[in-house]
């Protein structure tokens, strides 16, 4: 039998966390249900994520994302269903499943008295990792621009710096699957850039990344596939490009000449209106752009400027969850 260290097979090179064949799912969620009293937070959620995917789990507030992440991380019990991380059942084989997983939580919770590097080494110890991960800890400190804070105690760090430590802490044992729960909520642009560059590199080396975010443009840019969860159910699960292409509508933004108003026959198409500029949502099959111009001409409305916009993930998200 092959010996293991720090949750990895010893023979595994440290920059290649996968010790699995491609037929195995990195994360398997199978019929997961969870209720809080009468409230059904998860109503039988099922999906699978392949090793090496960059996957987005999106949904409005209250959709059930945090509940699902807590269940995956073994912090909450499901009522029924099954979750496996790299083939390891999170209930029957909890310790191994947990070692395969790194979760960057939303909340900043730390012991304030430890220094940064001590914190990370202690965390590594929880996963059975010793000195062999110290070079990796040093690499993360550098990548997350925490190097000059390595001997600073946690209580002396700013919120942004604490968040960097939280990210390093989740990755200290080199998990093959990483869940980022709203990692960029309220963080500055620089940390966002640092974080995404780091995640892109880890992903390029084979790490599976699951992202929940409110910043839909981030999900659109980073994720290969997206699941949209709403009211405890998966509403859509598709490759990002397919999700974007599946919705055949576009937007037409028109700046009306001063004193002009949109004719009543176009009012039903208005998606937004701001300072004399209206945005119309046009279903490709039903509303050719020419028909809008015809209506404007018939009504004698003068326009100053016009441009079209393809739907982005935000538009599709609103459409699916409203």
Binding mask 30-49 for ligand ADP (x = CB under 6 A): ------x--x-x--------
**Closest CB to ligand ADP among residues 68, 157:** 68
> Using CB under 6 A, which of the segments 55-63, 90-98, 154-162, 215-223 binds ligand ADP?
55-63
- Binding region for ligand ADP (CB under 6 A) out of 61-69, 148-156, 242-250, 287-295: 61-69
CA distance 167 to 180: 9
With b meaning 16 or more CB within 10 Å and e meaning fewer, what string describes 250-259? bbbbbebeee
Does 51 bind ligand ADP (CB under 6 A)? Our answer is: no
Q: Is 59 in the site for ligand ADP (CB under 6 A)?
A: yes
Confirm or reject binding of residue 62 to ligand ADP (CB under 6 A): yes
Pick the binder of ligand ADP from 49, 58, 63, 256 (CB under 6 A): 63
Among 2, 21, 61, 322, binds ligand ADP (CB under 6 A): 61
Token reading at 2: 């092959």
- Minimum CB separation of residue 224 from ligand ADP in Å reads 21
Tokens of 209: 């990344």
Question: Which string of x and - marks every residue 6-25 that binds ligand ADP (by CB under 6 A)?
Answer: --------------------
Name every residue whose Cβ is closer than 8 Å to that of residue 27 and which is 6 or more positions away in sequence.
48, 49, 72, 83, 84, 85, 177, 208, 210
Query: Which of these, 286, 276, 236, 238, lies nearest to 256 by C-alpha position?
Result: 276
Candidates 65, 99, 121, 163; binder of ligand ADP (CB under 6 A) is: 65
Beta carbon of residue 64, minimum distance to ligand ADP (angstroms, whole number): 4
The nearest distance, CB 206 to ligand ADP, in angstroms, is: 28
Please, what is the minimum distance in Å from the beta carbon of residue 89 to ligand ADP? 22
User: Is the CB of 69 or the CB of 154 nearer to ligand ADP?
Assistant: 69
Restricted to residues 83-122, the positions that interact with ligand ADP (CB under 6 A) are none
CA distances in angstroms from 321 to 34, 108, 150, listed in the order given: 20, 29, 43
**SS3 readout for 18-52:** CCCCCCCCCEEEEEEEEEECCEEEEEEEEEEECCC
Distance CA 305, CA 303 (A): 6
What would the x/- binding string for ligand ADP be over residues 165 to 194, using CB under 6 A?
A: ------------------------------
Measure Cα distances from 55 to 87, 195, 239, 250 in Å.
18, 16, 9, 25
E-assigned strands of 164-248?
177-181, 208-212, 225-230, 233-239
313 φ, ψ (degrees, to nearest 5) = -60, -35
Binding footprint of ligand ADP on the chain (CB under 6 A): 36, 39, 41, 59, 61-67
């Amino acid at each position: 039998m092959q010996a293991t260290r720090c949750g990895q097979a010893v023979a595994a090179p440290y920059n290649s966390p996968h010790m699995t064949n491609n037929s195995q799912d990195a994360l398997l969620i199978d019929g997961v249900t969870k209720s809080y009293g009468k409230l059904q937070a998860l109503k039988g959620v099922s999906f699978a994520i392949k090793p090496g995917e960059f996957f987005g789990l999106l949904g409005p507030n209250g959709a059930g994302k945090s509940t699902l992440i807590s269940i995956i991380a073994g912090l909450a019990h499901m009522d029924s269903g099954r979750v496996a991380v790299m083939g390891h059942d999170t209930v029957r084989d909890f310790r191994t499943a947990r070692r395969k997983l790194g979760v960057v939580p939303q909340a900043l919770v730390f012991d304030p008295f430890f220094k940064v590097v001590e914190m990370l080494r202690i965390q590594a110890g929880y996963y059975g990792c010793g000195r062999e991960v110290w070079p990796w800890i040093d690499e993360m400190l550098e990548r997350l621009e925490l190097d000059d804070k390595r001997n600073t105690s946690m209580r002396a760090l700013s919120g942004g710096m604490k968040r960097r430590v939280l990210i390093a802490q989740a990755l200290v044992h080199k998990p093959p699957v990483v869940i980022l729960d709203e990692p960029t909520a309220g963080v500055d642009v620089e940390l966002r850039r640092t974080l995404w560059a780091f995640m892109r590199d880890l992903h390029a080396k084979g790490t599976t990344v699951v992202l929940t975010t409110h910043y839909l443009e981030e999900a659109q840019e980073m994720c290969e596939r997206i699941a949209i969860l709403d009211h405890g159910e998966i509403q859509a699960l598709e490759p990002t490009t397919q999700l974007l292409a599946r919705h055949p509508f576009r937007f037409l933004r028109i700046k009306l000449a001063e004193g002009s108003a949109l004719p009543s026959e176009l009012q039903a198409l208005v998606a937004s209106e701001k300072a004399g500029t209206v945005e119309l949502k046009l279903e490709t099959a039903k509303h050719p752009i020419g028909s809008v111009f015809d209506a404007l001409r018939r009504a004698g409305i003068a326009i100053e400027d016009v441009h079209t916009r393809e739907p982005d993930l935000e538009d599709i998200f609103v459409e699916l969850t409203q």
